[in-house]
C-alpha cells in the first residue's frame, strides 16, 4: 500500500515527545498527521479529510473535548478518540454529549491496545464514508420526535421516572418503564424498543453489561444515561463498553430530556436504515464479564434472542 492510500490519522498533543512516539508507532500503517494544539488541528481538518482524530484532553488554549466537538462539525465521519490521564467527570460527560467519542484511552496507553482501537476506528470511518450518510446529522435542536417513532424504554428504580418522561415527550412517543433488568428484557421482547433511557445502576447492579450486550447484538438501539450518581470510571466504561449516546443528569429537565430523547430516536432511525454505520458504535469487551451460571448470563442470553423479533418489526 502506497503512502497516499493509507488511512489518515491525526494525533493532537501539546507534548512533542508524545507526538514523536505516535509517529514512530504508527507511520508504517497510517499517514500520520501531527498537531501540537487544538487550533493547529483545526487547520489540518479544514485542509484535508482524515479517518481518525486522536486528541489529548488537557491542552492549553483548547481542550480535547472542545477540539473533538468542533471536529465533529467539520468532519462528521471521522472517528474521535480522547486520550486522558485524569478523571474529570464533567469533561468525560462533555465528550460524550458534545464530541461523540468512540473510545477513551488512558495515559499511559498500551501500544497494542491503542493499535487495535485505531484499526477498528479506521474501519468504522471507512464504512461511514461508504454509506455516504452524515453520522452526526444536525445538532440536537429538534423539539420533538416524529410521530410513529419506536418505543422508549426507561430502566430505573424510581417508578415515577417513566411517567414523567412520557409527560415530557407527549403522545407522539410511547414510553414504557422497567424497575429491573429482567423486566427491561421483557419489555424488549414485547415492544419495538428504539431508545433505552437508563440509570447507571438498577437494584444496585451496574447496567453496563446490559447496555454493552444490547449494542453488540442490536446496534440500532440507542442508550441514554439518566442519573444523579455518576462517577468518572463508570462513565468511561459506559462509553467504551456500552457506546451510550448521551449522558444527562437528574432531576429531569424538560427541555433537555425532550431534545436528547428526540435526537436519540433520530439516531436510532439512522442506524436502522444504514447498517454500515454500526461499526462506529462497536463496543469493547467487558473487563470482567459476569461469571458463568450467574443470573446476569441468562438475561444477557435473552437479549441475543431478540434479533428475530427486531427483524419482524422491521419487515
C-alpha torsion sign, points 131, 134, 136, 137: negative
Lookup: cell for 137: 446529522
Distances (CA, A) of 128 to 45, 49, 51, 124, 183: 17, 13, 10, 6, 35
The residues, any chain, with a CB within 8 Å of residue 261's CB and separated by 6 or more, are: 145, 152, 165, 169, 173, 195, 197, 224
Residue 291's pLDDT is 55
Helix (H, G, I), strand (E, B), or coil: what is residue 2?
coil
Query: What domains can be seen in the chain, in order of their start residue?
Result: 3-131 (3.40.50.2300), 151-314 (3.40.50.2300)
Q: What pLDDT, on a 0 to 100 scale, did the predictor assign at position 286?
A: 67
- pLDDT tens digits along 268-301: 998 998 888 888 888 887 666 655 555 556 666 7
Taking only the tens place, the pLDDT of each residue in 60-80 is 999 998 999 999 999 999 999
**Count of beta carbons in the 10 Å neighbourhood of residue 61:** 11
- Torsions phi, psi for 105 (to 5 deg): -125, 125
Low-confidence ranges of the chain (pLDDT < 50): 137-147, 310-315
Residues with Cβ within 8 Å of residue 286, at least 6 apart in sequence:
208, 209, 212, 241
Q: Residues 244-258: pLDDT tens digits?
A: 999 888 888 899 999
Given this model, what pLDDT does residue 129 score? 80
pLDDT of residue 315: 46
Phi and psi at residue 12, in whole multiples of 5°? -125, 120
What is the spatial distance between Cα 251 and Cα 229, in angstroms, rounded to a whole number?
11
Amino acid at each position: 500500500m502506497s503512502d497516499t492510500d493509507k488511512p489518515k490519522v491525526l494525533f493532537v498533543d501539546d507534548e512533542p515527545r508524545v507526538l514523536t512516539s505516535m509517529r514512530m508507532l504508527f507511520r508504517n500503517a497510517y499517514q500520520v498527521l501531527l498537531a501540537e494544539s487544538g487550533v493547529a488541528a483545526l487547520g489540518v481538518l479544514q485542509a484535508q479529510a482524515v479517518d481518525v482524530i486522536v486528541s489529548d484532553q488537557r491542552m492549553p488554549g483548547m481542550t480535547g473535548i472542545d477540539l473533538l466537538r468542533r471536529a465533529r462539525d467539520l468532519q462528521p465521519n471521522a472517528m474521535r478518540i480522547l486520550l486522558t490521564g485524569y478523571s474529570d467527570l464533567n469533561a468525560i460527560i462533555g465528550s460524550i454529549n458534545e464530541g461523540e467519542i468512540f473510545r477513551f484511552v488512558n495515559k499511559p496507553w498500551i501500544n497494542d491496545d491503542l493499535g487495535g482501537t485505531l484499526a477498528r476506528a479506521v474501519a468504522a470511518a471507512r464504512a461511514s464514508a461508504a454509506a455516504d450518510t452524515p453520522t452526526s446529522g444536525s445538532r440536537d435542536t429538534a423539539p420533538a420526535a416524529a410521530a410513529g417513532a419506536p418505543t422508549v424504554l426507561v430502566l430505573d428504580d424510581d417508578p415515577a421516572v417513566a411517567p414523567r418522561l412520557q409527560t415530557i415527550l407527549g403522545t407522539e412517543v410511547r414510553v414504557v418503564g422497567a424497575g429491573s433488568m429482567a423486566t427491561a428484557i421483557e419489555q424488549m421482547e414485547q415492544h419495538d424498543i428504539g431508545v433505552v433511557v437508563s440509570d447507571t445502576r438498577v437494584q444496585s447492579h451496574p447496567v453496563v453489561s446490559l447496555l454493552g450486550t444490547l449494542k453488540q447484538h442490536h446496534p440500532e438501539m440507542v442508550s441514554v444515561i439518566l442519573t444523579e450518581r455518576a462517577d468518572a470510571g463508570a462513565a468511561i466504561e459506559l462509553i467504551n463498553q456500552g457506546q451510550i449516546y448521551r449522558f444527562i443528569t437528574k432531576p429531569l429537565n424538560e427541555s433537555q430530556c425532550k431534545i436528547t430523547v428526540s435526537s436519540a430516536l433520530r439516531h436510532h432511525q439512522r442506524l436502522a436504515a444504514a447498517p454500515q454505520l454500526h461499526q462506529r458504535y462497536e463496543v469493547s469487551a467487558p473487563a470482567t464479564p459476569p461469571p458463568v451460571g450467574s443470573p446476569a448470563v441468562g438475561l444477557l442470553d435473552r437479549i441475543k434472542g431478540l434479533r428475530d423479533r427486531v427483524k419482524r418489526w422491521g419487515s
